[in-house]
Amino acid sequence: MMQKPIILFKYGGNAMTDEEVKMSVLENILSLKQKGYNIVISHGGGPFIKEMLAQVNIESEFIDGQRYTTPESFKYIEMVLKGQVNSDLVNIINSLGFSAVGLSGKDGNTVIAHKRWHKKVVHGKEQKVDLGQVGDISKVNPKLLNQLLENDFIPVIACIGADNNGPGYNINGDTFAGYLAGALMVEQFVVLTDVDGLLRDKNDSSSIIRKISIPEVKTLKDEGIIQGGMIPKMEACETAINMGAHSAKIINGTKPEQIANVNNDAIGTLITK
């Protein structure tokens, strides 16, 4: 039996915090399921993590944009991602008449991770900076996800992994989703963000780049056009495609109607090999 093409959505950011937008995002994603696609949703939960850590008086510390994660803060991060964000998404999808299964990268040893050391240059010398329980991905085993898809479930997966010894790691949501998309060899990896796509000039929405190839990504990085929060998103798209995804697209998750029309050339930025 031919497996249906897979679309993997990276869901996070502001499109998660507004209840009305969230419902609309999920309805539009599910409309693609009805059109014959298999759907996987990979999510982060930055705004909710920030809120929880503030409630328990743990200060959020960032090193070059990366969250420093103590064992205590990791406990709350995992609680928020799995117990709150993941379970909420699963609940909504099931209430709309579909069957979602909530999990993290730990389940079924799906995502094996290792400790990430941040490298920074100080006075011309490279230094390794400890980020605590922050991980990079060693490997992805998509067996559990494929079994769920074959049985018509929608996997909803939180961006946490573990190493072979068991400690958990908080993994960048974009990076995590890109690796999953690559391992599943998806038809399309769709990153939902807060802008309409990759802009040549970040202050001019009409400067959107509709299509870009992996070699062109490097050029735009060198030119400083791909910058800030767009860097991990574009790197995730590169990872996905280099590992076997057919294509990737960056679209605006705060305009949920774009999701149902994700294959339209006039929406978002398409990234190809």
**Strand 125-140, strand 66-67: pairing:** unpaired
- Hey, is 235 helix, strand or coil? helix
Identify whether the C-beta of residue 207 lies closer than 8 Å to the C-beta of residue 142.
no
Q: Over pLDDT 90: what percentage of the chain?
A: 78
pLDDT at 177 over 60: yes
Using CA atoms, how far apart are residues 240 and 248, in angstroms rounded to an integer? 8
Distance CA 61, CA 64 (A): 10
pLDDT digits (tens, 9 = 90+) for 30-67: 999 999 999 999 999 988 999 999 999 998 888 877 88
- pLDDT tens readout for residues 122-170: 888 888 989 999 999 999 999 999 999 999 999 999 999 999 887 799 9
DSSP state of 168: E
Contacts of range 24-29, beta carbons closer than 8 Å, 24 or more positions apart: 24/256, 24/257, 25/192, 25/253, 25/256, 25/259, 26/89, 26/92, 26/93, 26/96, 27/96, 27/256, 28/256, 28/257, 28/258, 28/259, 28/260, 29/259
Residue in the structure block whose two tokens are 């305009």: 255
Q: Mind listing the pLDDT tens digit for each residue in 208-235?
A: 999 999 999 989 999 989 988 899 999 9
Q: DSSP class of residue 81?
A: I
Given a contact cutoff of 8 angstroms between Cβ atoms, the answer to whether 67 and 61 are in contact is yes
- The reported pLDDT for the residue numbered 164 is 84
Nearest to 177 by CA among 199, 162, 164, 192: 192
pLDDT digits (tens, 9 = 90+) for 62-111: 887 788 899 999 999 999 999 999 999 999 999 999 999 999 999 999 99
Going by pLDDT thresholds of 50, 70 and 90, the confidence category of residue 262 is: very high
Backbone phi, psi, residue 215, to 5°? -60, -35
**Domain residue extents for the chain:** 6-112+138-272
**Closest by Cα among 170, 161, 177 to 74:** 170
* pLDDT for 111: 97
Please give the average per-residue pLDDT across 192-199, as a whole number: 92
Task: Please name the amino acid found at residue 92.
Answer: I
Kindly give, in sequence order, each residue whose CB lies less than 8 Å from that of residue 248, ignoring residues fewer than 6 positions away.
Answer: 181, 188, 189, 190, 191, 236, 237, 240, 241, 270, 271, 272
The pTM score is 0.94
Angle, nearest 10°, between helix axes 71-78 and 46-55? 120
Helix axes 230-243, 214-222, angle to 10 degrees: 160
Structure tokens at 91: 């609940």
pLDDT band at residue 1, thresholds of 50, 70 and 90? low
Q: Which CATH number fits domain 6-112+138-272: 3.40.1160.10, 3.20.20.140, 3.40.640.10, 1.10.520.10?
A: 3.40.1160.10
Distances (CA, A) of 34 to 22, 38, 102, 184: 19, 9, 20, 20
The Cα 152–Cα 259 span in angstroms is 20
